[in-house]
Structure 1
Amino acid sequence: MKVNPNKINKLIVQIESLIQTLIHEEQRFKDPFKSAHVYYLESARNLVHYNSLRKVDLRSLQKKLQNLGLSRLAKAEGHIMSSLIKTRFVLYKLLDEQPPNTIKPGLSIKNGKRLLNKHSKELLGFRSKGRRVRIMVTQPTQAAYDYDMVHKMVDLGMNCARINCAHDGPEVWQKIINNIKKASKAHGKTIKITMDLAGPKIRTGHITPGPKIKKFSPKRDGSGKITNPAIIELIPIIMENSEYNSLPISEEWLNKLEKDDVLFLKDSRGKHRELKVIEASKNKATVHCYETLYIETGTLICCNRSGMLDTPVGELPSIEQHILLKTNDSLIITKENVLGNPAVYDDEGKLIENAHISCQTPEVFNRIKEGDIILFDDGKIEGRIDTILDDRMEIQITRAKDTGSKLKAEKGMNFPTTNLGISGLTEKDKIDLEFVAKNADVVNFSFVNSKEDVEELLVELEKWNATNSLSIILKIETRFAFDNLVEILLTAMKVKQIGVMIARGDLAVETGWENIGRIQEEILALCSAAHIPVVWATQVLENFAKKGLPSRSEITDAVYSLQAECIMLNKGPYMGDVLQLLTKILSNMEHYHEKNEVMLPKMEKA
């Protein structure tokens, strides 16, 4: 192959300059290297090398190397110094010269991969036969009481179980763990138990409850003819999991009902309505109605049979209220925990009082500035802070649906451009951490933003003698966590086993949907450089898990997740089907991908 010596020499100069930059950068990080666990000493050095390399625009150099048939360094994040030295060696050989040999090459390609595989196994457990990527499954409350469900998850390929401390409590968590361990033993497997600390989720406050009323309507066709009556289930009391069409009635009165009884009532609008009992059994009766009716707490119901006294409808839940917001509307966020209300208008449509709602984390008022962006409900509504007063902030809505977007209670609030300075550990987290340290293999650290957050967690782990017995997965879900990721990883490397979870939902809201593709690529690359396993999280096959049918984009997303070491699945009634499909996808596609490297097996027909 004919080469131009001048061009080769220029490439050598560029490579030499990069190598010297990496060596110089090492000197700046002596302290983190000294405190790094022996497991991560080489990984910490390689992370610093990669981070330094990425401060330079390498695209021109990459194209020139590619034209010579050499490595473009595009997949070299796990072994940067070694790859640079090897590239330099080949360039010298093209000139028929001997390269200098004065630099320690660092991790080889093979050893870089071995380190990542070793860390993945120790953090996430053994991989399943036929696939490299592990599967982590979020456990529903039902897993505490349904052993067969947990047994099936293990049988279908679950490698790690995730328990979210934002829900339930120690009693339920312990029952879930007991079932996981029982199922693990039955299958001869070790299932890693990971537990999420809830973290400081910022949410909207409560809204003034609506009336305690329910509406029932028969189904009609396009011409308005009734095709099915309204079906109402009469039961003694409304529970949290009761169906919407349930109506509470005195148990004694309910058990006197018989099939074909006719019930009469006057609904909340004064309309007379008739209900027919279709089925009656102990503590339950099914009735039909062929007209729309509104029933409220205390509505009197009478029966056509003699001897049956009128009975009132029992306590109904309040209708969940919301605040309807349109672009350019004003919204008041109060510091004090007061019930929110929609905007009030007079008869002529003139605004009398702005809508208002509280913030459940009043500490945010200490950091916000006028002009800051605020997002509600996973970014569905966007606003700008116009005015800040002692007890409230005034927001102008800058993005909402044309018909208006509904803001409800307990919805997330994000301040993507504001460093709120709120610790990743709440008081609840510190209490929960005692249980986690004693019962889990891994703690998933939510809303980490800085190395100081990691240091605070390490202090708490020390209290429970769990610094090196409890592994840590850092959930990257904010703009500041991404910006500070190198510092965060170097600080976390003080302990034996760490991982990173890309919480793509919150991260997309914080950084912008247009940026999430680039950012998740960067996180994957930085973690590969640090030989730290990555958990691919948020909405993986979620439509399938909830509705039983995957979308095409979900399948593509699952394939893309092969770049990670683990995939996290959320809850859903079709979890068994999801595990089966995901195992097939991962097993089939791993012939074509080894992490982020494309492999080329013999092409097969469909």
Structure 2
Amino acid sequence: MDLESYAPGCFPALEGLYSHLLHLRQVVAREGEERYRMWQRYLSRPDFFPSARNLAHYLALRKHDLRPWQLELARFGLSSLGRCESRVLPNLDAVLATLGRLLGYGGPYPSEAEFFAGEARLKAATEQIFGPCERPRILVTLPEEASSDPSLVPRLLHAGANAFRINCAHGDAHTWARMVAEVRRRVGGHEVPILMDLSGPRGRIGTVWAAGRLHPGEFFLLGSKLRDESPHPFQATVEPPELLRGVMVGHRVILDEGKLQGLVEEVLPEAVKVRVTYTPPKGFRLRPEKGLNLPDSDLPLAALTPKDLRDLDFVAEEADLIGYSFVRTPEDVEALLKELEARSPKRLRGLVLKIETAAGVRNLPEILVAAAGRWPTALMIARGDLAVELGYQGLAELQEEILWLAEAASVPVIWATQVLDRLVKKGTPSRAEVSDAVLAARSECVMLNKGPHQEGAIALLADILGRMQTHQYKKAPRLRPLEVWAQL
């Protein structure tokens, strides 16, 4: 029976679908290769070459609105393109081969090895950085007590921790050395990497002079020093002072992870005048050390601060993984690589790029290639700072796109910021954060912050991640038999 007698009207639809997808495949291949050639100056690690090429093809593919063709593909029972992150051209070739055979054209299918090569590359990259594990890894932020409590690291390992993080924004080399030594002593022959996070150029409030609380509609000054002659009752200095050089009228000012939001009304010598647009109902009190974000401003700051350079002397000696905070451009990556080359790291397995700013998001493909083209690399979605910079609505979409881009590049992802935060701090989880932990299973690693109930949080997270591994891989459902509902 021919196709038209079996399904009237299908033949012209299939012809149109085949023609469109064939043209799309040609465009994606051509534009992807052009981008890949532009990246050659970053590429010196052969293991990453096919991943970089696939990322270039993915970016070319996702320039197009594929929604109408998704529906058409589904109507004929063909594979959609919705899970092609790790295999852009093989996925297109497989769909074209099936359409071609339906239309009598013939055409080869990609081999099994070629079709699943991207997944194999991601698995290998993840094991290279974090070591082997059947579920997503759990990265635990170590408190300083780990340097003096010999029972803490074994308890965290027993609960399910797979890697440890030391935040270089706190403590000093003497404390870090004791923490590192304690981990090395307790893990034995197991692969438990230590990530050391460089602090980076985080903006903060310095000295404060304020009369009460700020409310929407009021003004305050941010500057390099307090101004005695100013009539404003609310003033604060910023650290580092050069942070304000890129600020212009109309730019947003955000304090303490969004608790205060404002707009720059006037740029003054060595200061800016800010009109408050949002605070909590009871207002906002300016306090030293609160975080400062300037998401619209071109910040004239190097990603490696003088403190980072000092810390890097210790970190390059002792860390398995180096966390690079507030990376914004490929040039930031090259600056770190230059410093590492000068220090000849002893144990380093890879880099962890922390995507925390709007600029980092805009430059993400080139940042990924600049790093992974020379070192094994993972990506941390720092959702706290991203939410401040982009808003919660923007973060909702963006965290998905970062997962897709990283998968296309075979780069492991760390899902970070406030995972099971209430459980870690108070001992009981909220329903919303359990759902967030379920979403985290699409990453290769999940980070937990420190708190008095870390062990319980690790154990619960390990259980959730293990369960979800049987249900889903990335965006693809595994379709195991339904069992849970029948057991209730």
TM superposition score category, shorter chain reference = over 0.9
Whole-angstrom distance in 1 between the partners of 2:94 and 2:53: 18
Q: Which residue of 2 aligns with 1:164?
A: 167
> How far is 1:524 from its partner?
0.1
Q: Residue in 1 aligned with 2:432?
A: 553
2:264 partner amino acid: I
Cα gap change, 1:323 to 1:125, in 2 (>3 Å): farther
Which amino acid in 2 is paired with 1:197?
L
Letter in 2 for 1:504: R
Give the Å deviation of 1:107.
Answer: 7.3
Aligned amino acid, residue 492 of structure 1: A
Partner of 2:286: 407
Matched, 1:574 2:450: no
Going from structure 1 to structure 2, the CA distance change for 1:418 and 1:123 (only over 3 Å counts) comes to: same
Alignment equivalent of 1:86, drawn from 80, 90, 94 = 94
- How far, CA to CA, are the matches of 1:150 and 1:386 in structure 2? 50
Closer/same/farther in 2, CA of residues 398 and 106 from structure 1, 3 Å limit? farther
How big is the shift at 1:106? 11
The more displaced of 488-497 and 194-203 is 488-497
Residue number in structure 2 paired with 1:198: 199
CA distance in 2, matches of 1:421, 1:11: 50
Whether 1:120 aligns to 2:126 is yes
Q: How many residues align?
A: 477
On the 8 A contact 1:458/1:467 being kept in 2, the answer is no
Residue aligning to 1:15: 21
Q: Which amino acid aligns with 1:376?
A: L
Is 1:66 matched with 2:74? yes
Q: What residue in structure 2 maps to residue 146 of structure 1?
A: 149
Indicate whether 1:325 and 2:209 are aligned. Answer: no
Unaligned runs of 5+ in 1: 209-320, 344-351
Question: Residue 581 of structure 1 aligns to a residue in which SS?
Answer: helix
- Scaled by the length of structure 1, the TM-score of the pair is 0.76
Deviation at 1:27, TM superposition (A): 2.5
Residues 323 and 564 of structure 1: is their aligned pair in 2 closer, same or farther, counting only changes over 3 Å? farther
1:529 maps to: 408
1:132 pairs with 2:139? no
- Alignment check: 8 A CA contact 2:42 2:369 kept: no
CA distance in structure 1 between the partners assigned to 2:119 and 2:228 by the alignment: 54
Question: Which has the larger helix fraction?
Answer: 2
Which residue of structure 1 aligns with residue 308 of structure 2?
429
| Cα separation, 2, equivalents of 1:93 and 1:468 | 52
Tell me what 1:498 maps to: 377
The structure 2 residue matched to 1:42, chosen from 22, 47, 50, is: 50
Question: Residue 439 of structure 1: CA displacement?
Answer: 0.4
Q: CA deviation at 1:353?
A: 3.6
Aligned partner of 1:205: which letter? G
Tell whether the 8 Å contact from 1:475 to 1:503 is kept in structure 2 after alignment: yes
**1:55/1:108 Cα in 2 relative to 1: closer, same or farther (>3 Å)?**
same
Secondary structure of 2:203's match? coil
- SS of the residue corresponding to residue 379 of structure 2 reads strand
Alignment deviations for residues 102-134 of structure 1 (CA, whole Å, 9 cap, x no partner):
x9999733221111110001111221xxx4200
Partner of 1:30: 37
Question: Where do 1:449-464 residues align within 5 Å?
Answer: 449-464=328-343
Q: Deviations over 1:140-165 (max 9, x none)?
A: 01001012001111122211110000
2:267 is aligned to 388
Secondary structure of the equivalent of 1:406? Answer: coil
User: How big is the alpha-carbon RMSD for the aligned residues of Structure 1 and Structure 2?
Assistant: 2.1
What is the distance in 2 between the residues matched to 1:10 and 1:425? 53
Deviates more, 1:191-200 or 1:573-582: 573-582
Unaligned runs of 5+ in 2: 1-5
Aligned to 2:3: none
For the Cα contact (< 8 Å) 1:332–1:392, is it kept in 2? Answer: yes
Q: Which amino acid aligns with 1:147?
A: P
Residues 505-525 of structure 1, C-alpha deviations (whole Å, 9 max, x = no match) = 001110111111100000000
Structure 1, residues 267-312: CA drift from partner, whole Å, max 9, x if none? xxxxxxxxxxxxxxxxxxxxxxxxxxxxxxxxxxxxxxxxxxxxxx
Aligned partner of residue 387 in structure 1, secondary structure: strand
Aligned-partner residue type, residue 74 of structure 1: G
The reply on whether 1:75 has 2:83 as its aligned counterpart is: yes
For 2:406 and 2:228, locate their aligned partners in 1 and report how far apart those are by CA, in whole Å.
43
User: Residues 123-522 of structure 1: matches in 2 within 5 Å?
Assistant: 123-127=129-133, 131-185=134-188, 188-207=189-208, 323-336=212-225, 338=226, 353-466=232-345, 469-522=348-401
Which structure has more strand as a fraction of its residues? Answer: 1
3-state SS of paired residue (1:453): helix
Return the letter of the residue paired with 2:199.
A
CA change 1:339–1:388 in 2 (3 A) is closer
1:22 positional shift: 2.0
Q: Over alpha carbons, which structure has the higher Rg?
A: 1
Q: Which residue of 2 aligns with 1:285?
A: none
Residue identity in the other structure for 1:200? P
- The amino acid of 1:412's aligned partner reads G
Structure 2 vs 1, CA of residues 361 and 518 (structure 1 numbering), >3 Å: closer, same or farther? same
Structure 1 position 405, deviation (Å): 2.0
Deviations 1:141-190 (A, max 9, x none): 100101200111112221111000000011110111111111101xx412
The alpha-carbon deviation at position 4 of structure 1 amounts to 2.1
Separation (CA, whole Å) in 2 of partners of 1:74 and 1:487: 23
Residues 317 and 347 in structure 2, CA contact (< 8 A), matched pair in contact too: no
Secondary structure of the corresponding residue to residue 39 of structure 2: helix
CA distance in 1, matches of 2:15, 2:482: 40
- CA displacement at 1:340 relative to structure 2: 10
1:194 alignment partner, SS class? strand
**One-letter amino acid of the counterpart of residue 90, structure 1:** T
Q: Calculate the TM-score normalised by the size of structure 2.
A: 0.93
The one-letter amino acid of 2:208's match is I
Structure 1 residues 510 and 322, CA gap change in structure 2 (3 angstroms): farther
Where 1:407 maps in the other structure, the secondary structure is: coil
CA contact (8 A) 1:195 1:443 kept: yes
Aligned to 1:95, which of 88, 92, 103? Answer: 103
Offset of residue 596 of structure 1:
2.3
Contact persistence 1:44–1:490 (CA under 8 A): yes
Q: Distance in 2 between matches of 1:65 and 1:421?
A: 48
1:532 and 1:204 map into 2 onto residues whose CA distance is 35
**1:468/1:481 Cα in 2 relative to 1: closer, same or farther (>3 Å)?**
farther
- Whether contact under 8 Å (1:373, 1:416) holds in the other structure is yes
The code of the aligned residue for 1:30 comes to R
Shift in CA distance, 85/194, structure 1 to aligned 2, threshold 3 Å: same
Identity of matched residues, %: 35
Per-residue deviation, 1:81 = 0.4
Alignment partners' CA distance in 1, 2:163 and 2:276: 42
After superposition, give the CA deviation of every residue in 1:551-575 in whole Å (9 maximum; x if it has no partner).
1011100011011000000001111
Q: What secondary structure does 1:501 align onto?
A: strand
Q: Residue 62 of structure 2 corresponds to which residue in structure 1?
A: 54
CA contact (8 A) 2:355 2:379 kept: yes
**Pair 431,80 (structure 1): closer, same or farther in 2 beyond 3 Å:** same
Q: Structure 1 residues 38-47 or 469-478, which shifts more?
A: 469-478
Amino acid in the other structure paired with 1:76: C
- Residue 601 (structure 1) aligned to one of 459, 466, 480: 480
